[in-house]
Amino acid sequence: MLSYIGRRLIQLVPVLLGMVFIVFMMIRAIPGSPAQIILGQQATPEAIAAMNAKLGLDQPWFTQFFKYLAGILQGDLGESMRTRLPVADEIWPHLAATIELAFFAIIIAIIIGINAGIISAWFQNSWFDYIAMVLALVGVSMPIFWLGLLGQWVFAIEFSWLPTTGREQVRDPVHAITNLYIIDTLLQGRFDQLWQVMRHLILPGIALATIPMAIIARMTRSSMLEVMRSDYIRTARAKGQKMFWVVYKHAFKNAVIPILTVIGLQMGMLLGGAILTETIFAWPGIGRYIYDAINFRDYPVIQSSILVIAFIFVMINLIVDLLYGLIDSRIKYD
């Protein structure tokens, strides 16, 4: 197992280097002169030279690339042109907001998706199966931003049940410790605030959860169907074991690998979907951070945020692969 992890980590090195390279080249791919675009047409030649030096465009690209890489390895993500603060300092609160939202969404997606899939497989061709699978099909095709708007319209505007924007009660802001507000409010014992934080999570969380939920439900169903046809399950049933235990324990255990793979893939996808959800719900996460940075042409922020998300994405995929191996071996010895 250890040597497998080691091998996987070594394999990752060229991919990570390539990612850094692509992100590094972004600014050089801008048509025209980036410094000019940032500073404007009437910038003085001195200002442009200074900006070029700041962006590292005054040096050959390979020199600059290694400098950039060295900086990143030391945790230097550049400096925001908008706030003139290090991106590394600014990024965490945004990233934390996104992580909280994404976790909330994936948990909803897993709980509802897996159960819906199991029940659908259990009662194959029942009305529940049909409705669930039609909903799942629609869910897969759902533009997340439309779903967000629909949710806002129905739950926040027409019925005023849920807050429309933000992640906390503005008049009673959460005192940030970790910036993961669920944890922060728990640490401070502020259950009233925790309740508010949860309320703010619901709409964006469900919007973000829909697509992975649909995919997980479909995958669970097809994987379960295959397992339930196997002799092993038939035997268990013939032995007169309770159907509930047969389904949820024996069958599910054997169907779990493809489901896990899909969940892992979807967790990565959530990071992409978060950008859209965050714009609709004014969620102060990394997606909105990037969105604002694009409007400001704040390239260091765009570059570093993309790099950080991609890094997390790769890591999630790695963890999923490793878990896969782990569960696989256990099943073999079971």
Partner 1 sequence: MSELTPKMDGNIEVKLEKTAGPWREAWRNFRKSKAAVAGMIIIIFFILLALFGPLIAKEGVNEQFAPDRFHPPSAEYWLGTDDFGRDILSRIIHGSRISLSVGFLSVIASVIVGSFLGIIAGYYGRWTDTIISRIFDIMLAFPSILLAIAIVSVLGPGLENALIAIAIINVPNFGRLIRSKVLSIKEDEYITAAKAIGMKDARILFSHILPNSMAPVIVQGTLAVATAILEAAALGFLGLGAEAPQPEWGKMLADSKAYLQSAPWTMIFPGLSIMLTVLGFNLMGDGLRDALDPKMKS
Partner 2 sequence: MSKKRMWSVALILLLVLSTALAACGKGSSSSKEDTLVFGRGGDSKSLDPSRVTEGETFKVTVNLFETLLNFGEQDTSIQPGLAKEWNTDDGLTYTFKLREGVKFHDGTDFNADAVVANFERWANGDADKFPYYNSMFGGFKGDEGHVIESVTADGDYTVIIKLKRTQAPFLKNIAMSMFAIASPTAFEKGDDQFERNPVGTGPFEFVEWKPNDSITIKKFDGYWQKGLPKLNKIVFRSIPDNSARLNALIAGEIDLADGINPSDAEKIEGNADLQLIKRPSMNVGYLGLTVTRPPFDKKEVRQAMNHAIDKETIINSFFEGQANIAKNPMPPSISGYNDDIEPYEYNPQKAKELLAKAGYPDGFEMELWAMPVPRPYMPDGAKVAEVIQSNLADIGIKAKIVSYEWGTYLDKASKGEADAFMLGWTGDNGDADNFLYVLLDEDNIGSNNYTYFKNAKMHDLFIQAQTEVDENKRVELYKKAQEIIHEEAPWVPLAHSTPLLAATKDLKGFLPHPTGSDVLSNVEFK
Give the C-alpha separation, 80 to 78, whole Å: 7
The CA distance from 23 to 18, in Å, is 9
Identify residue 331 by its one-letter amino acid code. Answer: I
| Axis-axis angle for helices 252-280, 87-122 (nearest 10) | 130
Q: Footprint of partner 1 on this chain (CB under 8 A)?
A: 14-15, 18-19, 22-23, 26-27, 29-31, 137-138, 140-146, 149-150, 152-153, 157-158, 219, 222, 258, 268-269, 271-273, 275-276, 279-280, 290-291, 294, 302, 306, 309-310, 313-314, 317
156 touching partner 2, by CB under 8 A: yes
Judged by CB, which is closer to partner 2: 4, or 123? Answer: 123
Work out what residue 89 binds among partner 1, partner 2, none; the CB cut-off runs from 5 to 8 Å by kind.
none
The binder of 126, among partner 1, partner 2, none, by C-beta within 5 to 8 A per type, is partner 2
H helices of the chain, in order, are 2-29, 34-39, 45-55, 61-73, 87-122, 127-140, 144-151, 181-187, 191-228, 231-238, 243-245, 252-280, 286-296, 299-333
The piece of 25-33, 58-66, 99-107, 171-179 that touches partner 2 (CB under 8 A) is 171-179
Give whichever of 233 and 309 is closer to partner 1, judged by the CB atom.
Answer: 309
**115 is an interface residue for partner 2 by CB under 8 A:** yes
Any idea what the Cα angle at residue 63 is, between residues 61 and 64, rounded to 5°?
Answer: 60
Task: Answer yes or no whether residue 296 interacts with partner 2 by CB under 8 A.
Answer: yes
Q: How far is the CB of 311 from partner 1 (least distance, A)?
A: 9
DSSP character at residue 86: B
Give yes or no for residue 170 binding partner 2 (CB under 8 A): yes
Identify whether the C-beta of residue 94 lies closer than 8 Å to the C-beta of residue 181: no
Q: Which is nearer to partner 2, 164 or 317 (CB)?
A: 164
**Which residue among 61, 103, 128, 313 contacts partner 2 (CB under 8 A)?**
128
Instruction: Please give the structure tokens belonging to residue 90.
Output: 């600014």
Told to check if 243 binds partner 2 by CB under 8 A, we report yes
| CA 82 to chain centroid | 26
Establish if 42 lies at the interface with partner 2 (CB under 8 A).
yes
Per residue, what are the HEC states of 245-301? HHHHHHHHHHHHHHHHHHHHHHHHHHHHHHHHHHHHCCCCCHHHHHHHHHHHCCHHH
Q: Is 283 in the site for partner 2 (CB under 8 A)?
A: no
40's contact among partner 1, partner 2, none, with CB below 5 to 8 A by partner kind, is partner 2
Return residues touching partner 2 (CB under 8 A). Answer: 40-43, 82-84, 115, 119, 122-123, 126, 128, 155-157, 159-166, 169-173, 192, 196, 199, 202, 243-244, 282, 284, 288, 292, 295-297
